[in-house]
């Protein structure tokens, strides 16, 4: 077994030990095919007010510019599918499933730091950085390149064994490792469930989402008032949106996660629409103290709830 093969075996062993569901390896190199796609996406202003997506164009496409000397991108999948959905009858105010528990950034970042330490203990000095939906890393493209799935029509990475309710994370390191084969097949076939179900028509063509039309963007990233054109289209989502994932046939393979940190705050489980509408800043701070929902701040969440209510009045 070559040293590159040994390194790959060690990386995958540690990934299993730390509870990651899948681990794939790709060579750190320029993402040539993605450059024109990203350029076109930005040119069409599909990023909306997410101006940071236009920054560091070269680093976004080339991990060796992000981590000098990088040789390998390790892509990891970590499940967040909940054991039970929070009340979701058509009238319920909804929260995206990934935000039920503690903020995934901090939970997974800690795991990745441990991952790097364990790698160093087994192999020796390794230079690199860890990423969870942070910095200019094209996560889905690297995961596809590492054989973990394909990019579906809703632009999310789909995995044949567990659908798409998972987080992606990466280690970009200067360790030589044997890469996995990319998944070249698209298993969406002729299905258009996600495109048909999106209430704001944000999926403009297979694999391409106009971010500025997406409910997740409107409820999280947009800092000003939600435009009136979206009245009656929010389907009661107050933070994020799961519609394109809920309708995806591949998510019938989703299984509940085993991560205690992702369990909902006890108070959140019994939330009624009245609780959402009458929420005080004190309740917000208590229930969402460690949650990704803090991203919107109290005022942003109230804005979203009021907009939803104006839809229904």
Percent of the chain with pLDDT over 70: 99
The residues, ordered by sequence, that sit 6+ positions from 69 with a Cβ below 8 Å of its Cβ are 127, 174
172 contacts: CB under 8 Å, gap ≥ 6: 28, 63, 66, 67, 70, 72, 73, 74, 128, 129, 131, 137
Q: Check residue 193 and give its pLDDT.
A: 98
- pLDDT of 50: 84
- Say if residue 166's pLDDT is above 80: yes
The pLDDT assigned to 261 comes to 97
Read off the pTM. 0.95
| Burial readout 282-306 (b: 16 or more C-beta within 10 A, e: otherwise) | eebeebbeebbbbbbebebbbbbbe
Q: Do 82 and 257 meet the contact criterion of CB atoms below 8 Å apart?
A: yes
Is 127 annotated as catalytic?
Answer: no
Token pair for 160: 């044949």
Least confident of 25-34, 80-89, 217-226, 271-280: 80-89
Residue 26: the pLDDT is 98
Where does the pLDDT of residue 312 fall: very low under 50, low under 70, confident under 90, or very high at 90 and above?
low
Given the residues 45, 58, 125, 133, select the one marked as catalytic: 133
At 259, is the pLDDT very low, low, confident or very high (cuts 50, 70, 90)? very high
Q: Which of 49-53, 171-175, 267-271 has the highest mean pLDDT?
A: 171-175
Residue keyed to tokens 């997406």? 214
Q: Is the separation of the CB atoms in 219 and 238 below 8 Å?
A: yes
pLDDT of residue 313: 54
Judge whether residue 89 has pLDDT over 80.
no
229 burial type by CB count under 10 A (0-12 exposed, 13-18 middle, 19+ buried): exposed
Query: Shortest CA distance to 11 belongs to which of 21, 23, 19, 3?
Result: 23
By the 8 A CB rule, do 298 and 111 touch? no
- Of the pLDDT bands very low, low, confident and very high (cuts 50, 70, 90), residue 54 is confident
Those residues whose C-beta lies under 8 Å from the C-beta of residue 220, and which sit 6 or more positions away, are 239, 240, 295, 296, 300
The whole-number average pLDDT for the span 1-28 is: 97
* Residues 44 and 50 sit within 8 Å (Cβ to Cβ): no
The helix/strand count (H/E) of the chain reads as 13, 10
Nearest-CA neighbor of 97 among 20, 166, 169? 166
Q: Tens of pLDDT along 119-138?
A: 999 999 999 999 998 778 99
Mean pLDDT for 170-185 is 95
Domain boundaries, the chain: 3-82+101-173, 199-312
> In the predicted model, is pLDDT for residue 226 greater than 90?
yes
Pairing state between β 157-158 and 203-205 = unpaired
Average pLDDT, the chain: 94
- pLDDT of res. 27: 98
């Amino acid at each position: 077994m070559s040293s590159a093969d040994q390194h790959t075996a060690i990386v995958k062993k540690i990934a299993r030990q730390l509870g990651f569901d899948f681990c794939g390896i790709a060579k750190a190199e320029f993402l040539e095919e993605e450059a024109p796609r990203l350029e076109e996406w930005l040119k069409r202003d599909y990023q909306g007010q997410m101006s940071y997506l236009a920054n560091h164009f070269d680093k976004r496409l080339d991990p060796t510019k992000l981590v000098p000397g990088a040789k390998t991108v390790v892509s990891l999948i970590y499940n967040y599918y909940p054991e039970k959905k929070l009340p979701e009858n058509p009238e319920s105010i909804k929260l995206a499933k990934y935000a039920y528990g503690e903020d995934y950034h901090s939970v997974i970042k800690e795991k990745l730091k441990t991952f790097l330490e364990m790698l160093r203990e087994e192999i020796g000095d390794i230079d690199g950085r860890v990423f969870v939906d942070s910095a200019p890393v094209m996560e889905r493209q690297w995961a596809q390149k590492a054989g973990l799935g394909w990019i579906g029509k809703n632009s999310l990475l789909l995995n044949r064994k567990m659908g798409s309710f998972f987080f992606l994370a990466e280690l970009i390191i200067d360790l030589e490792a044997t890469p996995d084969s990319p998944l070249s097949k698209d298993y969406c076939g002729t299905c258009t469930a996600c495109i048909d179900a999106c209430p704001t028509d944000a999926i403009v063509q297979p694999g391409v989402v106009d971010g500025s039309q997406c409910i997740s963007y409107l409820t999280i990233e947009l800092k000003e008032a939600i435009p009136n054109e979206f009245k009656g289209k929010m389907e009661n989502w107050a933070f994020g949106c799961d519609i394109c994932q809920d309708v995806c046939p591949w998510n019938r393979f989703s299984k509940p996660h085993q991560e205690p940190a992702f369990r909902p705050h006890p108070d959140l489980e019994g939330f009624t629409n009245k609780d959402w509408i009458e929420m005080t800043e004190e309740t917000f701070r208590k229930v969402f103290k460690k949650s990704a929902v803090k991203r919107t701040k109290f005022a942003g969440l109230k804005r979203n709830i009021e907009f939803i209510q104006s839809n229904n009045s």
